[in-house]
Amino acid sequence: MTPALIIHLDGAKQNISEMIRIAGAASRLRPHVKTIKNAELVALQMSQDITKFKCATLMEAKMLASCGVKDVLWAYPIVGPNQEAFLALQRKYPETSFSVLIDDLAQLDEWDQKLRGSHLNLFIDINVGMNRTGIVLEEVTDLISSIDKNPLLTIKGFHAYDGHNHESDLNKRTAQVTKEFEKIGQLIRSFERRAPLELICGGSITFPVHAKYPSRMLSPGTSLLWDAGYSHHFPDLKFEVAAVLMTRIISKPAPHLICLDLGHKAVASEMKTPPVVFPELKNYHWVSQSEEHLILEVESSDNLKVGAVLFGIPWHICPTVALHEKILVVAQQEVVASWKIESRKRTYQL
């Protein structure tokens, strides 16, 4: 049935190998699972000696713990009832070492009220320029002093995500990383008297730059599946597109027009660029997209029959995966499995 999400298993395996090659060792990787949201792909990475992961939602954290992952960072500001849900998850999976991000005293006050004897591992989230979450460097020392007052809290390290660094030119990308992380290095050195502190940094685009600094932990995510957007903007990164969308021509409403069953509900469409690329088609133009339909203008539709299958590469794979309930797994040009995208859900039962 279409539309469907397909993963090429060999491509995913190759991307894991490339992640490890760039990092220099599997032990330096803490991949983000926000892209894959799938237990089998987590297990595939674990089979290559990757033991630490990070996630963006509680359901992703639960999935990782159920896979037997020993070290899980919920890389998100946790407030309100999510704190209680997290503590319940931590109690349910005592064999997993969980951590959360913190960047504000208000979060700390909430945790103080809810811990009730539970221990909590923290990574201090630093704003390195993305201006989404994180504390400014000048306020880190005061936050650490407040954390140290509670014996139930342990600072495990720092988290600094530079997802705003989208420099296509590698030299400019590297220069930006060097500039933004210089003061972070000074900060960490000022706390050397403490137990060793981990610095987690670098998404899929910048982690090869951070890999040149041996003390940094690396957290790519999109690199396992890759997509058309990153392939276009960052040709220096040699990851394979391992995920495609299968769609069918459902109508030919006018000469030179074809309609596909690939609407907003099947492929992430938040970007200004067309959300999917069709390598099989030549000289086509994007016309429109609605909830369940995608209209393309083609040079000739004579050889494009209603019912014909086309394959498209998503421009942005991460939210595209979350739109599907399952992944069709292809190996040796055959569908060999169907995997559930289990942590696309939001609800967690306490």
Q: What is the pLDDT of residues 5-52, one digit of tens each?
A: 999 999 999 999 999 999 999 999 999 999 999 999 999 999 999 999
pLDDT for residue 99 is more than 70 = yes
- Give the pLDDT mean for 117-136: 97
pLDDT of 193 reads 79
Q: Where in the chain is the domain with CATH 2.40.37.20?
A: 243-343
Contacts 24+ apart (CB under 8 A), 337-340: 337/40, 339/7, 339/38, 339/39, 339/40, 339/41, 340/38, 340/39
pLDDT for residue 350 is more than 60 = no
Can you give the pTM of this predicted structure? Answer: 0.95
Q: CATH assignment of 243-343, given 2.40.37.20, 3.50.50.60, 3.40.50.12280, 3.30.420.10? A: 2.40.37.20
Tokens of 257: 């027009």
- What is the Cα gyration radius of the chain? 22
pLDDT of 349 reads 66
- Residue carrying the six token digits 């003061």: 183
- Give the pLDDT mean for 219-247: 98
**b or e along 109-140 (b: 16 or more beta carbons within 10 Å of the residue's beta carbon)?**
ebbeeeeeeeebbbbbbbbbeeeebbbeeeeb
Q: CATH assignment of 10-223, given 3.20.20.10, 3.40.50.1820, 3.30.390.10, 3.40.50.300? A: 3.20.20.10
Per-residue pLDDT band for 236 (boundaries 50, 70, 90) equals very high
pLDDT for residue 285 is more than 90 = yes
